[in-house]
Amino acid sequence: MAGNFGSLVFTPLVKDSMQRNRAISRLVQREKTMAQLQSPRLSRRRLLAIAGVSGGATMLVRGRLFAKDEGIVPTMINAAAKAKITVHPVRRNISVLEGSGGNIAVLTGNDGKLLVDAGFSVSRTGIADALASLSGDPIKHLVNTHWHTDHTDGNNWLHSAGAAITAHENVRKRLSVDTRVEGWSWTFPASPAGALPFAVFATTHELQRNDTKLVLQYYGPAHTDGDISVHFTEADVIHVGDTWWNGVYPFIDYSTGGSIDGQIQAAEANLRLTTDKTIVIPGHGQIGSRPDLAKFRDMLVTIRGSVERLKKQGRSLEQTIAAKPTGAFDAKWGRFLITPAMFTALVYQGV
C-alpha cells in the first residue's frame, strides 16, 4: 500500500479532466499569490529549494499544472482522482477503503453505514461504488478524525447522501471559516453548511451503531487541534487518523494546533489505547498493529532528539537539514508526501 501511494503521489501531470484542472489551476494561482504575500515558513517550494532538491527546470515552466513543486494539495487531489478505490475487509463488519486521501473505515449493518473519514470529493463515484459493493445499507453516519481536506472533502456529498456528521468541536471550528495551512501553502475556504459536523464533542463521545459501541476520544493537540481516535469496541479495531502514518513521515500542522510534541504524545496515547490484538487503521499507509505504532513513536522521538541537539548548537534550519538528522530513517520513512527535508523542518519548528 505504501509503495502504491508513492507511485501515485509523485505522478506529475493529469490531463484527463480539463474542467477539474482549470478549477485547481485557479486555486493554485490564488495560492501562489497568497504565498508571495505571506512568505510562508514551510512552503514545499521553499523547503525543496532549501534542500537543494527542487527541479529548477520544472519551476521555470510557468502555468504548468501539478509540477512537483506546486504543492501538496493539488498533488493529493491528483492522486485521488486517478486512484482506484480498494476495499480491505478488516474484522467483523468493518472494512477500509483506500485510495482517496486518508484511509476510510466503514461499519455496515441495519442501522446504515457508518464511515470514519470522507476522502476527497473527486473520488465520489469510486467511493460510492466501493460502499455499494459492501452492502445495500444506506449511508447514515460519518465521523471525521480531524479537519484536514484529505479526510473531510467528501463530507458534503456524504451528508447529501444521508450521513449525519460527528467530530471534535475544533473540526467544526476549522471547517466553518477560511483556514490557512502554512505547511501546505494553501488556504481552504469555509466549507458549505452541509459539510460541517452536526454533532461535536470536547473529550469523549460514544455511539451505538450496528451492534457496535464506538468510543470517540480526543487526543488533545497533536497533528492538529482536533484529532480523535475511533475505537470499534467489540471488534477491537481502532482508526487513529493522522496521529499515525504507517511507515512514512507524517505531516504536522502547526497552523491549526499541531506540533512534534503533540504528535509524540498522541503516538504514546495510541500505545495505551491498543493491545497486541488490536487492528489499527492509520490515517495514511497500511493497516497495522501495536508493534508498528511503537516503531512510529520511536522514529518520532529519535528524530526529535537529533534535531533538537542541532538547533541547540545554534544551527539554522538549512544547516540542520544539511546535517541529515533523519538519515538513518530515510530509506524506510522518506518515500511518501513528506520528504526527509520537509520532516526535518517540521520537527525543527517545534523544538
Residues that bind Zn ion (CB under 5 A): 148, 242
Whichever of 93 and 229 has its CB closer to Zn ion, that residue is: 229
Radius of gyration (C-alpha) of the chain in whole angstroms? 19
Whichever of 46 and 148 has its CB closer to Zn ion, that residue is: 148
Amino acid letter, 20:
R
- Minimal distance, residue 175 CB to Zn ion, in Å: 13
User: Where are any strands of DSSP class E within 86-194?
Assistant: 86-91, 94-98, 104-107, 113-116, 139-143, 164-168, 179-181, 186-188
Whichever of 102 and 325 has its CB closer to Zn ion, that residue is: 102
Whichever of 71 and 325 has its CB closer to Zn ion, that residue is: 71
Cβ atoms of 237 and 290 within 8 Å: the answer is: no
- Minimal distance, residue 285 CB to Zn ion, in Å: 13
Whichever of 112 and 197 has its CB closer to Zn ion, that residue is: 197
Cβ atoms of 279 and 147 within 8 Å: the answer is: no
Give the CA dihedral 176, 181, 184, 186, nearest 10 degrees: 60
**Residue 220 Rama label (left phi>0; alpha psi -120 to 50; beta):** left
C-alpha cell, 81: 482522482
- Minimal distance, residue 1 CB to Zn ion, in Å: 17
User: Where are any strands of DSSP class E within 178-258?
Assistant: 179-181, 186-188, 199-201, 204-209, 212-218, 228-232, 237-239
With cell 478488516, the residue in question is: 90
- Minimal distance, residue 222 CB to Zn ion, in Å: 10
- Minimal distance, residue 208 CB to Zn ion, in Å: 27
- Minimal distance, residue 146 CB to Zn ion, in Å: 6
Whichever of 148 and 304 has its CB closer to Zn ion, that residue is: 148
Whichever of 92 and 146 has its CB closer to Zn ion, that residue is: 146
- Minimal distance, residue 328 CB to Zn ion, in Å: 25
Q: Which residues contact 206 (CB under 8 A, 6 or more apart)?
A: 213, 214, 215, 216
